Chains A and B, each alone.
Chain A
Amino acid sequence: MGVRCFNVCLLGKNCVHPAIRLTGVSRRFGALQAVRDVSFDVMPGERRAVLGPNGAGKTTLFNTICGDFPPTAGRIELFGTDITRLKPHQRTRLGIGRTYQTSLLFNGLSVLDNLFIAVRGLRPRRFSFLRPGRDDPGLAQARALAERMRLSHLLGVEVVNLSHGQRRQLEVGMALAGDPRVLMLDEPAAGLSPGDRPELLRLLRELPRTLTLILIEHDMDIALPAADIVTVMKDGEVVVEATPDRIEDDPVVQAIYLGGGH
């Protein structure tokens, strides 16, 4: 818990709202308590990794923050604004971008069209029968995103023909549409070949520090270098919160995650 104090002292009392503040967040599916009384703050610009074994409630916690399953108890704030009851797309418009554990892309459309739909969803006049012109700002933004994700050479390619690594890059690109303030990545390295991992890690490290990053990751090699602070979950609860260098030595983490857990 020392880390949180450090942040608050550094930034001064009440001078900055945390990017994400969870207070007593729980989510229940019938008899199953998937997330139990989770509280933590993520400060603006911070890189936070959420680790934990399968079934620890990481993705459910993500979905409560993104609005796919609102919490059954507790409160979620985004830069001081209560977003607990908002719908997913309202949260997107307030500045939360997310990726999904299994890519949710539009397979029959090109890379550019996927990005264009993502950009367009955040702007007014979403519903339109008129084709975008050549200098449409939405198209320009979509091209810029492709450039950032190193997909410029694949703009016209149908997504179904992309490699798995390229799909993950596109997924991140779509989450970045509309310049979110908080980017949530759900296992960005899932299913990636070892060769594709450094590329992804480089993309994550290139993201500007104005962006707050929360990622769920199984792979310590991605999670630890990318994160400032690591939160470890088990059985729906937070069990450890510490800096990456301390995580590997933590006896609780070693017990549940690195060795004894499996």
Chain B
Amino acid sequence: MSPPVAPPGWSRWLVPPAALSVHLSIGQAYAWSVFKPSLESALDLSGTQSALPFQLGIVMLGLSAAFGGTLVERNGPRWAMTVALICFSSGFLLSALGAATEQYWLIVFGYGFVGGIGLGIGYISPVSTLIKWFPDRPGMATGIAIMGFGGGALIASPWSAQMLDSFGSDSSGIALAFLVHGLTYAVFMSLGVFLVRVPRPVKTAADGTPAPLEGVQVSANSAVRTPQFWLLWIVLCMNVTAGIGILEKAAPMITDFFADTSTPVSVSAAAGFVALLSAANMAGRIGWSSTSDLIGRKNIYRVYLGVGALMYALIAWVGDSSKPVFIIAALVILSFYGGGFATVPAYLKDLFGTYQVGAIHGRLLTAWSTAGVLGPLIVNWIADRQEEAGKSGASLYGLSLVIMIGLLAVGFVANELVRPVAARHHVTPQKEAADVPEPEQSA
């Protein structure tokens, strides 16, 4: 399948909504927890079992992004969005069948395995295309799309809950909800398939062949052999781990922190705090990523990692003496967490060029999978040990906060070590020309 080339007069402002239609859909993954209580009662599952479709989905996201990136580069964004649409929607339809027939394994296979492939391919599908359309503002462009992944859960969470209320929480109600999800997301994502276009290639005057891309260009296979790739891997992993550290335990954390004070936090106020963190996460994706276009990628990661560490230090230092300071510092950290996700494609583009940036981004997302395990593990394990040691309140989290500062310091140093990629890794113009697929003209 050839990439669809924009016809004359096509606007680049049609590409962000195409990307958003995919990211807002697949972002549903983070609202899976809405289905958990109903699944547990309808199919007699444990909490661990009901979480398995989501966990497998995230594993498949990482694997399909890492291994499918080269295919996405070769076949173009329309192919990738079509694959994402088919897999993500089929995942829901298979899960509907699984719920209707009370076959739990079919829900795991459908949502987790098949749907998870849709998550990974869908996540990286618009990245390279957006960077090519917005060479002047790559941070803003990818920030819009990746903000959509955060927004997807905001939409799906209340929507799915309302659907279960209407259809019922028994197996037939869950099946109907899955069916409606699958069909609705298929229609919604089709906008992306319909609208996405790659820019028209620049032709050389002499023979009409596409001109080589400007600047440094590195293939995905070469990129993983450079120190720059692994330094960025560490940067992303540390930044995400630090963010997840708060996100994972946000509600119990704020409750524990102020439990022994004169102004304890209620359950509903803690839920409000979690919602506010989601807003900061989303705002950081578009806000900080756009800022990186102005101040540079290395500088923005200095802010994420350096100021992030200071914010953790502030929480540790102020402790339970100031609720506003705790809330503001947590919001800043979560905005950096979102910003780190959204800015990394533009950082990759700066270092490795646009040649196979989508495939390189896919491989870098393994840092996310690692952080997804590491962050919650650190915070939960330490909080449990501190509780066993008889500690309570803010002191439950003191050691976790120190570890988060250390992780951010490691990320900060890794970012400082990033240098331009050595010339021996660059792709030659001949190789570039040989790899450019024949574009498909589309109206």
Instruction: Tell whether A and B belong to one assembly.
Output: no
